[in-house]
């Protein structure tokens, strides 16, 4: 399935057979995350298959179009390069893994200009049309002129003419005014014999900043290509009709596509012509070709429009069937998904909460209930606005369940950016229950921590003094340690270090995000960090590390290459941990820029026994002991202390799995006491002696 496939924002959609089973699979390049995403065709459905992503060249960036330029039946890669376009030839052998070689290594694609060979320059925000425009059997290229004039160049491939074969890219620039039209501004196009751009804009200047996307397509089976055209700053997709000939194309007018109900994306609707529903007919998929969010109005949870081909291969007809193609099968909350787990309803399993950058006019938390019926966790969405946080009129929401007021209960901590004053602050809502989420005072409480828009954070008791502190991943790549001053209900923090654990400023990273848990069941807390490139790093026993060099990044096993590797998990990522598989070692769950989630299961974990294994040591405990009494459990539990009369002596404390949890016993008189542990709705008791 696709539930944990990680979301999509700005999807450039291609098809090719990536596993040599004869079926065309779907390969997406998402421009916002700079990531190739691979889905295997299985029957009439798609299965997320991330191992294939690593088989694509690392050089792919900005845009990727898969086209078979050498007529060997295998699609090759065209992608962006600072000097124009670079091409990778598909060299995959029968029965072997995907493989590629650079076409003309070290050089971008060349074209014969009007006087000499030149780079075929394409702006990095543009999508060219790579298609057999003149119908002679080899692939040509159409692109909007690089210099900011809104006309289209035709680079004719002379491979057939020169060699009789379509096995190379022998390009020659034939014209810089293909179709005899000029784009002036949104909805303003100048055609031959009609008004000029100056006349259409009534004295205004042509507006050529931003990207342009082209798709050539023969819609009426006359062998002459029509043209889809869009601009980065425009909401509509334009269809230009061609009343000329193959050798002398003439665009004579345009309409907003589709005619009855035109596309109205906030920015840059870009079309792709691929068969994505396995019926043998190529469909039209439209997605914004943005490199990043440039407005609060973009809805990245519904950013793939599928227009099914209900006509024929010769005369396609496009009918809108879906405004969230692929995304409808995923957890996809838009962008900047931040996951958190907590047993909201007290039924003993971990429920899922995911915050998003913005939904409609304000950021919200999506709530999912754990329907724990299978080996793979399944979560059912039950709310798009948990606790009504949309009333905050904010964006850039990030969440964590943590004990903010030292009462042993897990509160809802969150940061968000106000739409009123632009400030980003950390606040929390107090939880009144030990084993579920129950709010008696719904007003959010402030802290004194102010953040920049992009800064990430985690609430954790760094120095193990019983008060939760905060780590901040700042804009310059450093990690700040903010110590809790311990004043009840004041929530004041003081920065102790701006390069905690040796993480100082770095050009290699920014805004690290964090998760902290015992990943290897050795009793020590490990640190997981995520960066802006989507890469996870693990630092074992984080309280002892002294520099950021002590990291492990090759943590994902690829079954195709039989190797551990690092992998882009979707642009800016936010990791958390949860025991979703009843294992001795927790899973890592990653939210990302694409608004989705991925689960990384620990492949070394074993199934936990039916009941918790809990130890209290030393037992008996002597007051002369210089170190505190400690508790250790093989899973997350809550503990509360009683005397032998059954009278409670404390609130519930949260004890994280596999870590030595210190308890201060100095205020108790000598005697016998009972520690009562709560897990999965059941209680377990242990006696201990203090003297």
> How far apart, in Å, are the Cα atoms of 424 and each of 25, 492, 637?
42, 16, 33
DSSP for 396-454, written as a single string: EEEEEEE-SSSSSS-EEEEEEEETTT--EEEEEE----SSS---S--SPEEEEEEE-TT
Q: Which two tokens stand for residue 357?
A: 């950058």
Pairing verdict, β 237-242 and 251-257: antiparallel
Using a 10 angstrom Cβ sphere, with 0-12 exposed, 13-18 middle and 19 or more buried, the burial of residue 155 is buried
> How far apart, in Å, are the Cα atoms of 597 and each of 100, 104, 319, 600?
30, 38, 30, 10
Distance from C-alpha of 172 to C-alpha of 104, rounded to nearest angstrom? 17
Measured in whole angstroms, the distance separating CA 78 from the mean position of its chain's CA atoms is 23
The per-residue pLDDT for 595 is 98
Helix H or strand E segment including 598: strand 597-600
Distance from C-alpha of 351 to C-alpha of 342, rounded to nearest angstrom? 5
Please name each of the domains of the chain with its CATH number.
Answer: 71-324 (2.115.10), 338-600 (2.115.10), 614-690 (2.60.40)
Residue whose C-alpha is closest to residue 10's, from 608, 570, 691, 636:
570
pTM above 0.75, yes or no: yes
The per-residue pLDDT for 144 is 96
**Sequence-ordered list of residues with C-beta below 8 angstroms from that of 565, at least 6 positions apart, any chain:** 54, 554, 556, 557, 558
Task: Report the first-to-last Cα separation within the chain, whole angstroms.
Answer: 58
Distance from C-alpha of 450 to C-alpha of 424, rounded to nearest angstrom? 6
Helix, strand or coil for residue 456?
strand
Q: Which two tokens stand for residue 679?
A: 């897990």
**Sequence-ordered list of residues with C-beta below 8 angstroms from that of 686, at least 6 positions apart, any chain:** 614, 616, 674, 675, 677
> How far apart, in Å, are the Cα atoms of 497 and each of 466, 475, 490, 545?
19, 15, 21, 15
Residue whose C-alpha is closest to residue 185's, from 150, 160, 161, 153:
150
Q: Buried b vs exposed e over 443-461: b needs ≥16 C-beta within 10 Å?
A: ebbebebebeeebbbbbbb
- Residue owning tokens 């209680």: 683
The per-residue pLDDT for 664 is 80
Pairing verdict, β 411-418 and 479-484: unpaired
Residue 392, φ and ψ in degrees, nearest 5: -70, -15
Pairing verdict, β 394-402 and 188-191: unpaired
Q: Which two tokens stand for residue 455?
A: 């800064």
Distance from C-alpha of 680 to C-alpha of 32, rounded to nearest angstrom? 40
Q: Which two tokens stand for residue 683?
A: 């209680």
Report the chain (691 residues): mean pLDDT per 10 consecutive residues: 95 97 97 98 95 98 97 97 97 96 95 93 96 95 91 96 91 96 94 92 70 96 96 96 95 95 95 96 98 93 98 97 97 98 88 97 96 74 96 97 91 97 97 91 95 97 92 97 89 95 91 95 92 95 83 93 96 95 91 97 80 91 87 88 91 81 83 90 89 90
The per-residue pLDDT for 604 is 76
Task: List beta partners, residue 536.
Answer: 530
Q: Which two tokens stand for residue 220?
A: 């009426």
The per-residue pLDDT for 207 is 62
> How far apart, in Å, are the Cα atoms of 197 and each of 143, 178, 204, 361?
19, 17, 9, 36
The per-residue pLDDT for 374 is 52
Query: Residues 445, 486: contact at Cβ < 8 Å?
Result: no
Tell me whether the omega of the peptide bond preceding residue 620 falls within 30 degrees of 0, making it cis: yes
């Amino acid at each position: 399935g696709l539930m944990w496939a990680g979301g999509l924002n700005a999807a450039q959609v291609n098809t090719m057979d990536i596993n040599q089973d004869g079926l065309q699979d779907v390969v997406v390049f998402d421009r916002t995350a700079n990531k190739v995403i691979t889905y295997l065709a299985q029957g009439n459905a798609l299965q997320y298959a991330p191992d294939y992503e690593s088989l694509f060249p690392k050089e792919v960036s900005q845009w990727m179009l898969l086209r078979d330029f050498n007529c060997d039946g295998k699609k090759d890669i065209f992608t962006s390069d600072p000097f124009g376009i670079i091409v990778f030839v598909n060299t995959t052998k029968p029965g072997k893994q995907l493989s590629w070689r650079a076409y003309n290594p070290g050089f971008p694609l060349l074209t014969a200009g009007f006087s000499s060979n030149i780079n075929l320059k394409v702006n990095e925000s543009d999508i060219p049309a790579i298609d057999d425009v003149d119908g002679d059997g080899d692939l040509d290229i159409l692109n909007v002129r690089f210099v900011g004039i809104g006309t289209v160049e035709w680079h004719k491939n002379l491979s057939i003419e020169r060699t009789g074969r379509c096995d190379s890219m022998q390009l020659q620039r034939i014209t810089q005014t293909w179709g005899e039209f000029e784009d002036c501004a949104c909805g303003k196009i100048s055609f031959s014999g009609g008004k000029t751009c100056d006349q259409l804009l009534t004295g205004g200047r042509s507006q050529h900043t931003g990207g342009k996307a082209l798709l050539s397509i023969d819609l009426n089976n006359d062998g002459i290509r029509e043209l889809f055209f869009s601009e980065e700053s425009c909401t509509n997709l334009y269809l230009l009709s061609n009343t000329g000939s193959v050798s002398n194309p003439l665009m004579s007018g345009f309409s907003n596509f589709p005619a009855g109900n035109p596309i109205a994306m906030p920015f840059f609707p870009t079309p792709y012509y691929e068969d994505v529903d396995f019926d043998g007919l190529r469909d039209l998929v439209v997605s914004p070709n943005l490199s990043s969010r440039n407005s609060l109005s973009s809805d990245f949870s519904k950013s793939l429009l599928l227009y099914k081909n209900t006509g024929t291969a010769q005369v396609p007809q496009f009918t809108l069937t879906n405004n969230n193609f692929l995304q409808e099968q995923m957890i996809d909350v838009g962008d900047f998904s931040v996951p958190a787990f907590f047993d909201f309803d007290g039924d003993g399993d971990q429920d899922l909460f995911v915050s998003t950058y913005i939904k409609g006019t304000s950021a919200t938390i999506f709530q999912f209930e754990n329907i724990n019926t299978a080996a793979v966790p399944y979560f059912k969405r039950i709310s798009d606005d948990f606790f009504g946080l949309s009333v905050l009129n904010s964006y850039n929401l990030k969440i964590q369940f943590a004990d903010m007021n030292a009462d042993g209960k897990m509160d809802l901590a969150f940061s968000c950016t106000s739409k009123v004053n632009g400030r980003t602050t950390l606040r929390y809502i107090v939880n009144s229950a030990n084993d579920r989420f129950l709010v008696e005072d719904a007003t959010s409480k402030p802290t004194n921590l102010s953040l920049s828009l992009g800064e990430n954070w985690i609430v954790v008791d760094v120095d193990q003094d019983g008060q939760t502190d905060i780590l901040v991943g700042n804009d310059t790549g450093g990690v700040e340690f903010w110590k809790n001053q311990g004043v009840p209900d004041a929530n004041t923090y003081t920065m102790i270090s701006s390069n905690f654990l040796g993480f100082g400023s770095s050009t290699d990273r920014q805004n690290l995000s964090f998760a902290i848990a015992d990943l290897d069941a050795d009793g020590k807390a490990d640190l997981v960090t995520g960066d802006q490139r989507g890469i996870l790093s693990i630092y074992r026993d984080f309280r002892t590390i002294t520099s950021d060099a002590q990291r492990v990044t090759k943590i994902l096993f690829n079954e195709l290459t039989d190797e551990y590797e690092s992998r882009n998990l979707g642009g800016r990522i936010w990791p958390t941990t949860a025991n979703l598989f009843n294992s001795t070692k927790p899973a890592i769950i990653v939210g990302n820029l694409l608004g989705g989630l991925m689960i990384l299961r620990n492949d070394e974990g074993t199934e936990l026994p039916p009941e918790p294994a809990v130890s209290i040591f030393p037992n008996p405990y002597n007051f002369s002991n210089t170190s505190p009494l400690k508790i250790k459990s093989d899973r997350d539990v809550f503990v509360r202390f009683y005397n032998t009369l059954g009278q409670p002596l404390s609130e519930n404390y949260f004890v994280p799995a596999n870590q030595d949890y210190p308890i201060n016993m100095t205020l108790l008189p000598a005697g016998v006491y009972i520690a009562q542990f709560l897990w999965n709705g059941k209680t377990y008791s242990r006696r201990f002696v203090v003297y």
